[in-house]
Structure 1
């Protein structure tokens, strides 16, 4: 295992910049906000809010995909970064395929994701588009020769999202519980995005702990390639139970990928939700939120108050009981057991931001 430890001077430059106009912009943060952001300079020390990145093997993202680190200045001067404005201010979520029956736990899960996205990108509107079936997308599909699970083609889905994208959309993301592949030569992909078009599609199928098991309920018994155009194969397609782990992984992936829509590249500064990941174990090591450098990027892009965002995130995690139905019957409680570490972390952040 290798720990990537940057010097204080390197992290200062990455966060604040040496450009006087960006230093002036940074100094507009309150004393408490600067205190929080500068906690990153003490990464790796006992009790630090932020930790250095650890590389566990050559299969991890950083050694496998060498990239130029993006500091705040690079992000700020990037001509291609996207900033929400009065006309493009809504994140749209489009579910594709079955997410369970109305009133089921998986149906609620989509609402939980929408609500989480709303507080994570605090200040933007997040809306759910009416659900669509796989047949409506007219996408290609196949049975994976290794897993024998059915897969749908991402590039067809992106084409569909482009046609469906509302005029006021900052971005549109497609979510599905069906496994994905980008082209015939690939085994699978967790998701694919067109950042220039503000679109992405992501599958949470492999976040089910049983996905790789021979007893996985979504595994098709027939190993024959289904006939293209016969979308009946998706009728009553299996949707996994919504565990706390699946919800955590889904929130993490969704916000990571939408973060890219703002022009935020993979983080190489500190442990951060924007780190790249090559496999599930590496993704699970990522925290749920931004490091100080990436937090400054998203804060400048949206313009929220940092304390208000953290408070909204904490409230989402602590609201374990969802809204009740119109018959006043409680629905499924939100499974947030795996968010416990994040709740403690948010409270520590708020202690700094709200100190006198």
Structure 2
């Protein structure tokens, strides 16, 4: 059975970038890719008022509670700032070898760093992080190949350096995980 990927816009979200993700994700994961209608705002319960950020693990947990067809992955995409308690921020989080991932575009926008907007660079960053987090759901861990989207990223500059696709070894592993 072919796998499928369900992109779930979680408000607030930059909707314009989502359709641009479909074709590359279809190609990389050989999966059917759909974009859902945007949902209401992320529940305030996952907001940590002292940090002004949203707990990505709580969002991930809510995504995991959704009924999904067999062999379906879900990736929530949002524009809020995400964190896990042990880190200052995260670009995203995923359930390793599971079904759900979440990606934040908040720190992927040049404007966040006081730089002029760059829509092409923004799209490339969103694509790389979406591939990266979805890769984790296919059982992939961080890769040493700097050209691979599974290469670890702790800063936005790390995202800019790595590739948007999977290296041959990671792609084989992802496709065999289906």
TM-score by structure 2 length? Answer: 0.84
Partner-residue secondary structure (3-state), 2:98:
coil
Looking at structure 2, the residues matched to 291 and 280 of structure 1 have their Cα atoms a distance apart, in angstroms, of 20
Provide, for residues 265-307 of structure 1, a one-character-per-residue CA deviation record: whole Å limited to 9, x for no partner. Answer: 22225632221222221221112223232233345446xxxxx
**2:47 matched residue in structure 1:** 141
Of residues 49, 58, 63 in structure 2, which corresponds to 1:161?
A: 63
TM-superposed CA distance for 1:248, in Å, is 0.4
**1:349 matched residue in structure 2:** none
Cα distance, 1:296–1:195 mapped onto 2, change above 3 Å: closer
**1:204 matched residue in structure 2:** 105
Contact kept? 1:165, 1:172, Cα under 8 Å:
no
Looking at structure 2, the residues matched to 202 and 242 of structure 1 have their Cα atoms a distance apart, in angstroms, of 19
Looking at structure 2, the residues matched to 108 and 271 of structure 1 have their Cα atoms a distance apart, in angstroms, of 26
Looking at structure 1, the residues matched to 146 and 56 of structure 2 have their Cα atoms a distance apart, in angstroms, of 31
Cα distance, 1:92–1:268 mapped onto 2, change above 3 Å: same
**2:12 matched residue in structure 1:** 98
Judging by fraction of residues, say which structure has more strand. Answer: 2
**1:336 matched residue in structure 2:** none
How many correspondences in the alignment?
A: 178
Contact kept? 1:190, 1:202, Cα under 8 Å:
yes
**1:250 matched residue in structure 2:** 126
TM-score by structure 1 length? Answer: 0.45
Matched, 1:267 2:134: no
**2:24 matched residue in structure 1:** 116
Of residues 96, 114, 122 in structure 2, which corresponds to 1:195?
A: 96
Which structure is larger by alpha-carbon Rg, 1 or 2?
1
Structure 1 stretch displaced more, 293-302 or 126-135: 293-302
**2:34 matched residue in structure 1:** 127
Partner-residue secondary structure (3-state), 2:111:
coil
Contact kept? 2:28, 2:171, Cα under 8 Å:
no
Cα distance, 1:144–1:116 mapped onto 2, change above 3 Å: farther
How do 1:173-184 and structure 2 match up within 5 A?
Answer: 173-183=75-85
How do 1:38-49 and structure 2 match up within 5 A?
Answer: none
Partner-residue secondary structure (3-state), 1:211:
helix
**1:295 matched residue in structure 2:** 171
TM-superposed CA distance for 1:142, in Å, is 3.5
